[in-house]
Chains A and B, each alone.
Chain A
Amino acid sequence: MSYFSSGAWWWPYLFILVAGFAATDIWRFLGVYLSGKLSEDSDLLVLVRTMATALVAAVIGNLIVFPGGALAHTSLGLRIAAAALGFVAYLVAGKRMVVGIATAEFLLLAGLCLNF
């Protein structure tokens, strides 16, 4: 059963509650339950963190390489260059997110204006 597979008005909401709310909040609740019981530096938690980080990074990669909507009409080279240079700017500016995001957006828009 996918998100759009049912005509019932409530199905998408149930889908969000089960696959979104429950799947997310279970970890928040477990965190409260386990706080003080399990060290955050335990090896198991390091593995859990690296897996979650890799998964979210995979999302980022897909959003840049296979975007949807209006971003899909831009060239792959422009998107990767804007993101990479934005990230470099973020690092050079002492890990300031605003600088990274603004640089990438500026480069993307500049590239679009110049028809890259």
Chain B
Amino acid sequence: MSTWTSDATALRSIWFLRGVRAAFSLPGLILVSSFIGFAALAKDAGVTATQAAFMTGTVWALPSMVVLVGAIASGAALPAAILAVTLSAIRLMPMVMALAPEMRAGKTRQCVLYLLAHFVAVTSWVLAMERLKRVPPHMRTTYYAGLGGTLVTTNVIVVTVVYAVADALPSAVSAALLMLTPMYFLTSLWGSARERAGHVAMVLGLVLGPVFHIVLPQIDLLVAGLIGGTVAYGSQLWRRKVRAA
């Protein structure tokens, strides 16, 4: 074996570890706090610890998971749950579309990108978009595997631990934990919106959600998403037309 190969291997593990280290950052810590909130939410809905840990590993997108738990809690049928979750997860597609070219270097295999795409969620995406530029192109998939893998593993453990200790917590602390998820979304969603239509959509959704929860409790999220999203999109088209006129 040439020394070049072992050097390359050593380099690869170094970049993997740098990815791991990137997970232990402020955004990573905020994500942990929101998974603490998620665990409290899931436990409250009657989901077991094993099921919640399984959900964390397989779904790995907090909006999807919170929508799924909401569907579970409201007794939604499987098709309604699929629709609501899938509509909330569409936003992952443009995120992956933006990230994939950054990681595609020379001989990067397509199946590696499909595997790594599972790690894409708001936090790892924001971290990667910010830091991948400083990683050599052929080490980027390795770096992202370290980052994404660490975030998933850590939060599966976090969810399990919260289930174990949740019953011992005073009610004020439980209330505070349940408040973490909406605050995390409120701030991260606003910050990640690309265009002003995203902010309009957010304000509309905040109001329409509770309104349709009363009017159409079984499909409240779907209707709020479709109406709020279409109106926000329409407002963008209208603004563009006004500007052009």
- Interface on A for B, CB 8 Å cutoff? 1-4, 12-13, 15-32, 34-36, 38, 40, 45-71, 73-74, 79, 82-83, 86-87, 90, 95, 97-98, 100-101, 104-105, 108-109, 112-113
Contacts and interface: CB of A to CB of B under 8 A. Distances in A.
Contacts of A51: 87, 90, 201, 225-226, 228-230, 233
Contacts of B20: none
Contacts of A100: 183, 186-187
Interface stretch (B7-15, B127-135, B151-159, B208-216): B208-216
A97 B77 contact: no
B184 interface: yes
Given A13-B51, A51-B229, A105-B183, A18 B78 contact: yes
A70 to B, nearest CB: 4
25 contacts: A4-B46, A20-B68, A23-B89, A30-B96, A31-B94, A31-B97, A32-B96, A50-B200, A50-B232, A51-B225, A53-B202, A55-B224, A57-B185, A58-B206, A60-B206, A66-B213, A69-B175, A71-B179, A73-B171, A86-B183, A97-B27, A98-B30, A100-B187, A104-B183, A113-B172
Interface in B183-201: 183-191, 193-195, 197-198, 200-201
A73 B171 CA distance: 9
Interface of B: 26-27, 30, 33, 40-41, 43-48, 51, 54-55, 58-61, 63-68, 70-73, 75-78, 81-82, 84-101, 104, 110, 113-114, 117-118, 120, 171-172, 174-176, 178-191, 193-195, 197-198, 200-210, 212-213, 220-222, 224-230, 232-233, 236
